[in-house]
Chain A
């Protein structure tokens, strides 16, 4: 069996999540908008799920809008809020390390005449809150900064930025899709008006996301149709998926002490992975040394094409990533690494391994060895034909 170390790409769905979903895929099949018993049963599942998710965010149920995934939540946040606030101004502030869902939504807004400021980050990928403050002008309507980065795991100072935005009266969105399973999500502590989540990053089903929209925040819907989600997102609700999402989030975040214990366990595994390459020449870790997601190890490996290394690891029984499953096969080096000031030639050698609930310390040690021998083999192809392969 392979060792799966790509939990930032997606996670296996938990049994408990599947159990919660199954009745809504079978007997409770009703349309939540139907007035009859079948519809009412589905509606109850939907309402309870919304309450559960709202509780974890410290939000009101009506502030949760379900979407068809994280990218849709980001798009709805950026386009929906920017258009609705366009009377105030047409200026958006974001950073160079955001997910493409945010960056490409901003690019579309630029085509529609909005100005977008892409903040620089430091070499760890962190945004400086002072720069956010400095970039806010009288026409700024929206700031969007991610909670934690998907490629290098760096955590942003969201609460600080949130306080600045609140003081300056500017809407603040955070893409919390990677952070959702690990970091506190209380929207008041974070000071956010909009927050995106995705279910499949935290052991829930794919194709389900949510956007927290603070009460009073105007939003121009991006999907027209029925009156679902208080007219903010048309389309028959994916009740089973939403129920699964709520169960997954409750399992991940319902007990903060358990969450923190799992984070500590994952951090120890991550540190073993990082330690495995520490003495290897031409290898450096990327992302913030401390302010980083507990499960995420990432490197730049000199003289290597990250995609080749991922393929090599796969054949040897370790499933990893160059940094983003959404851009694999692309010739362009990661925009995140480039924004962090890494030159393109070096950025090609990116590798990310992300642990999860099923990962053991032994997996990390084995994966570390396989990774070492793959790097050495690829650096000296003729000399070292031996391969270390995941056992059992």
Chain B
């Protein structure tokens, strides 16, 4: 018998996750508590223009779903942590010339840390459930993070940071379902979120353009600088290094007779290095801040496969531990544009082993 905090975003996935837990609660004796996390301000009241317009709607949808599935519902304010651990970290990532990973930071510090801690303290809850597509399996006294049954929706790329203590308290009710099945359940239950479109963009960058955010939060307006090729020759001008991310193709305004992509961002010299398609693929890269779901690496050197972006292709690789917190990843085929700051997540078959953040090439 568990007391479960169901994190409800107001989207279809977390709605169905909460509904499934609530449905099973009668049989399992579990108690389910719906919690909506207020992560950023909704822009104030009345006729003041709301800046992130989706937020009050999301709250209302989550509340309505909680009513329909018959669970208590609370709003939990996590604005302060979210601002510091996710939004500011996102801005600082770009200023450091990296490609930040806000969804993963939100999971690591907000959903599976502060929500879990405050849920435990306030609601006496033992577990937190989310609408992520992933699975947790307990075996031989340890918890394994497995890919979702629906390979298209698998979200382990954002969850590799979870440790044993967190996994022990985590439920993913959608792990065995496909997205169409989830929508079908939502429709059958007449949940108001059944037809909600997929959220693709970063929730605190509504238009998908983070340049305003850099200006607002860090005063970064961007200063024009050189775009150079691999040989160091200037072939164009950019609007500010932090506006570019490795692998980016659009907005460069240079032509070499074939497509060019951002290969490297150099904050110190405000330089953006570009290259042709074959120049920005890599067969090896270094990862820092390594973590393993099991707590320990499988071996000093091991075979795995690596994914360096959500829904990106997966490449077979050999992984070698380097020093205290690094990994050397060598892939059998070149991988496209490893971007410093992005997660490199390691798998072995169905299992997500852990990973780290891609380090700047030295």
Which residues on A are within 8 Å of B, measured CB to CB? 305, 307-309, 311-312, 314-315, 328-331, 377-378, 381, 385, 387
Q: Is the CB of A331 within 8 A of B79?
A: yes
Q: Is the CB of A311 within 8 A of B74?
A: yes
Q: Is the CB of A314 within 8 A of B72?
A: yes
Q: How far is the CB of B167 from chain A (nearest CB, A)?
A: 18
Q: Is the CB of B77 within 8 A of A305?
A: yes
Of B88-96, B121-129, B292-300, the one contacting chain A is B121-129
**Which residues of chain A come closer than 8 Å to B41, judged between CB atoms?**
331
Write the chain B residue with the least CB distance to A329.
B75
**Which residues of chain A come closer than 8 Å to B75, judged between CB atoms?**
307, 328-329
Does any Cβ of A come within 8 Å of B64's Cβ?
no
**Which residues of chain A come closer than 8 Å to B38, judged between CB atoms?**
329, 331
Q: How far is the CB of A256 from chain B (nearest CB, A)?
A: 39
**Which of A308, A315, A377 sits near B118, CB closer than 8 Å?**
A308
Q: Is the CB of A315 within 8 A of B76?
A: no
Q: Is the CB of B121 within 8 A of A377?
A: yes
Docked CA distance A314–B117 (Å): 18
Question: If the complex has contacts A331-B38, A381-B117, are A312 and B77 also in contact, measured as CB distance less than 8 A?
Answer: no
Write the chain B residue with the least CB distance to A314.
B72
14 A-B residue contacts at CB 8 Å?
A: A305-B77, A307-B77, A309-B122, A311-B74, A312-B123, A314-B74, A329-B38, A329-B75, A331-B38, A331-B77, A331-B80, A377-B121, A378-B122, A381-B120
Interface residues of B in 271-293 (CB under 8 A from A): none
Docked CA distance A190–B120 (Å): 50
Interface size class of B (residues with CB under 8 A): 10 to 19
Q: How far is the CB of A151 from chain B (nearest CB, A)?
A: 18
Q: Is the CB of B72 within 8 A of A308?
A: no
B35-68 to A contact mask, C-beta < 8 Å, 1/0? 0001001000000000000000001000000000
Q: How far is the CB of A301 from chain B (nearest CB, A)?
A: 12
Docked CA distance A301–B300 (Å): 50
Docked CA distance A378–B123 (Å): 9
Q: Is the CB of B77 within 8 A of A315?
A: no
Docked CA distance A300–B345 (Å): 45
**Which residues of chain A come closer than 8 Å to B120, judged between CB atoms?**
381
Q: How far is the CB of A18 from chain B (nearest CB, A)?
A: 25
Q: How far is the CB of B148 from chain A (nearest CB, A)?
A: 30
Does any Cβ of A come within 8 Å of B33's Cβ?
yes
Docked CA distance A378–B153 (Å): 36
Question: If the complex has contacts A307-B74, A311-B74, A331-B41, are A381 and B121 also in contact, measured as CB distance less than 8 A?
Answer: yes
Docked CA distance A307–B122 (Å): 9
Docked CA distance A139–B121 (Å): 54
Docked CA distance A222–B118 (Å): 45
Docked CA distance A367–B313 (Å): 57
Interface pairs A-B: 8 shortest CB-CB: A308-B122, A381-B121, A329-B75, A311-B74, A312-B122, A378-B121, A331-B79, A381-B120
**Which residues of chain B come closer than 8 Å to A381, judged between CB atoms?**
117, 120-121
Write the chain A residue with the least CB distance to B124.
A387
Q: Is the CB of B79 within 8 A of A305?
A: no
**Which residues of chain A come closer than 8 Å to B79, judged between CB atoms?**
331
**Which residues of chain A come closer than 8 Å to B122, judged between CB atoms?**
305, 308-309, 311-312, 378
B10-36 to A contact mask, C-beta < 8 Å, 1/0? 000000000000000000000001000
Question: If the complex has contacts A315-B123, A331-B41, A385-B124, are A305 and B118 also in contact, measured as CB distance less than 8 A?
Answer: yes
Q: How far is the CB of B246 from chain A (nearest CB, A)?
A: 35
Docked CA distance A312–B120 (Å): 10
Docked CA distance A377–B122 (Å): 8
Q: How far is the CB of A212 from chain B (nearest CB, A)?
A: 27
Q: How far is the CB of A314 from chain B (nearest CB, A)?
A: 7
Q: Is the CB of A308 within 8 A of B76?
A: yes
Docked CA distance A378–B77 (Å): 16
Write the chain B residue with the least CB distance to A100.
B45
Most buried by A among B38, B77, B80, B120: B77
Q: How far is the CB of A169 from chain B (nearest CB, A)?
A: 34
Q: How far is the CB of A328 from chain B (nearest CB, A)?
A: 8
Q: How far is the CB of B277 from chain A (nearest CB, A)?
A: 46
Docked CA distance A99–B77 (Å): 22
Q: Can you add 9 more A-B contacts, CB < 8 Å, to A331-B41, A377-B121?
A: A311-B76, A312-B122, A312-B123, A312-B124, A328-B75, A329-B59, A329-B77, A330-B77, A378-B122
Question: If the complex has contacts A305-B118, A308-B118, A331-B41, are A377 and B124 also in contact, measured as CB distance less than 8 A?
Answer: yes
Docked CA distance A255–B79 (Å): 49
**Which residues of chain A come closer than 8 Å to B77, judged between CB atoms?**
305, 307, 329-331
Write the chain B residue with the least CB distance to A386.
B124
**Which residues of chain B come closer than 8 Å to A314, judged between CB atoms?**
72, 74
Interface residues of B in 66-122 (CB under 8 A from A): 72, 74-77, 79-80, 117-118, 120-122
Question: If the complex has contacts A305-B77, A329-B75, are A311 and B123 also in contact, measured as CB distance less than 8 A?
Answer: yes
Docked CA distance A385–B59 (Å): 30
Write the chain A residue with the least CB distance to B31.
A315
